[in-house]
Amino acid sequence: MKMLINSPQTVVADALRGLAAAHPDLEVDVEARVVVRKGAREGGRVGLVSGGGSGHEPLHAGFVGPGMLSAACPGEVFTSPVPDQVLRAAKAVDSGQGVLFVVKNYTGDVLNFDMAAELAEEDGVRVQRVLVDDDVAVTDSLYTAGRRGTGATLFVEKIAGAAAEEGAPLEQVAAVAERVNKASRSFGVALSACTTPAKGSPTFDLPDGELELGIGIHGEPGRERRPMMTAREIAEFAVGAVLDDLASVAPADGPVLALVNGMGATPLLELYGFHAAVAQVLADRGVPVARSLVGNYVTSLDMAGCSVTLCRAEEEFLRLWDAPVQTPALRWGR
């Protein structure tokens, strides 16, 4: 496989050096693998820290900046960050108001962030945690017990980040993050498998003319394989799965935040066409779309495909969503 890298061993460090060169408003510690917003302790704000394996860019380092994350901890490709990374990040952003950990529900992430929280508390840093588990495709997987954390991570980080930027206390920031997670559901589809730099070959076999429904963001195969479908057929399946699971979240006919997320190798031409299908399916089902976001945000290296994330849009969610944000991957209102 051809990749634009120097070597599999240096791919994460090289990417972090590039991030630092492109975004001097971030403090990037390549050796410690921590990305911090400059002035993170200023203003007495609650700190927001997230992280996970690399390969999902721009998640998480691309969401560090005013109005979103205070710091991110990138692990090796598809590998959780270690507790020392997370602890270093927590200390770097704590202004005395506490730190919220945003953790995707994968076993390694959960264990390492929990250990870092214990260490931080011992050092006098107050920590709360929100667990993101929005994927409706599977209950358990190779990487996790319970549902996987996927596209809703962006919603949680943006909305909680805006609350922190406004000066909300830790308990309030954590509470809104929990509410966003509980109101969000996702479903992913792959047209091709991804290729990790270390392996150099696809993570699973997907023959021509077939697609995988219900995939994860670490190259996990889905829950069902079918012959290739049209964008409208895929939208019907994915949106249906999400809305069926969201039925228990009131109000059932309320507006939603909608994310059509590319998995890394799908061009925007296709993503916008797919979004048109998603919007039409939602309209046919009587679900208003309050805000939409289309693009590559929570990826899986070079996987072709997409995911759909919907969040029941409370008025407070929309206000915080619209609040200014300035990060490498998400920016408006400034």
Give the total residue count for the chain.
Answer: 334
Measured CA to CA, the distance from residue 175 to residue 131 in angstroms comes to 12
pLDDT band with cut points at 50, 70 and 90 for residue 204: confident
Asked if 73 contacts 95 with a C-beta cutoff of 8 angstroms, the reply is no
Reply yes or no on whether the pLDDT at 221 is more than 80.
Answer: no
4-13, 194-203, 231-240, range with the lowest pLDDT: 194-203
The mean pLDDT value for 2-6 works out to 94
Identify the pLDDT of residue 313.
96
pLDDT beyond 80 at 135: yes
Q: Would you say residue 170 has pLDDT above 90? A: yes
Q: Which are the contacts of 29, defined by CB distance < 8 A and separation ≥ 6?
A: 35, 36, 88
Active site residues: 56, 218
pLDDT at 140 over 70: no
Taking a C-beta distance cutoff of 8 angstroms, is the pair 65, 13 a contact?
no
List, in order, residues 6 or more apart from 19 with CB less than 8 Å away: 26, 28, 35, 61, 328
- The burial of 182, by beta-carbon neighbours within 10 Å (0-12 exposed, 13-18 middle, 19 or more buried), is given as middle
CB atoms under 10 Å from CB of 241, counted, come to: 19
- Looking at the whole model, is its pTM more than 0.95? yes
Residue 68: pLDDT band by 50, 70, 90 thresholds? very high
Do 137 and 215 form a contact (C-beta atoms < 8 A)?
yes
Average pLDDT, the chain: 95
212-to-13, 147, 219, 220, 325 alpha-carbon distances in Å:
32, 18, 11, 10, 34
Report pLDDT for 292: 98
pLDDT tens per residue across span 289-328: 999 999 999 999 999 999 999 999 999 999 999 999 999 9
Q: Which of 28-42, 136-150, 185-199 has the lowest mean pLDDT?
A: 136-150
Give the number of other CB atoms < 10 A from CB of residue 163.
26
Q: How many CB atoms lie within 10 A of CB 177?
A: 27
| Amino acid 141: pLDDT | 63
**What was the pLDDT predicted at 171?**
98
For position 1, what pLDDT does the model report?
77
Which pLDDT score, from 0 to 100, does residue 253 have?
A: 80
Q: Does residue 219 register a pLDDT over 80? A: no
pLDDT tens per residue across span 69-104: 999 999 999 999 999 999 999 999 999 999 999 999
Banded pLDDT at 118 (limits 50, 70, 90): very high
Q: Is the pLDDT of residue 145 over 80?
A: no
* Angle, CA of 248, 249 and 253, to the nearest 5°: 100
Residue written as tokens 């069926």?
A: 244
Provide the 10 A C-beta neighbour count for residue 123: 10
pLDDT recorded at residue 205: 85
Q: Sorting pLDDT into bands at 50, 70 and 90, what band is 144?
A: low
Q: Is the pLDDT of residue 143 over 70?
A: no
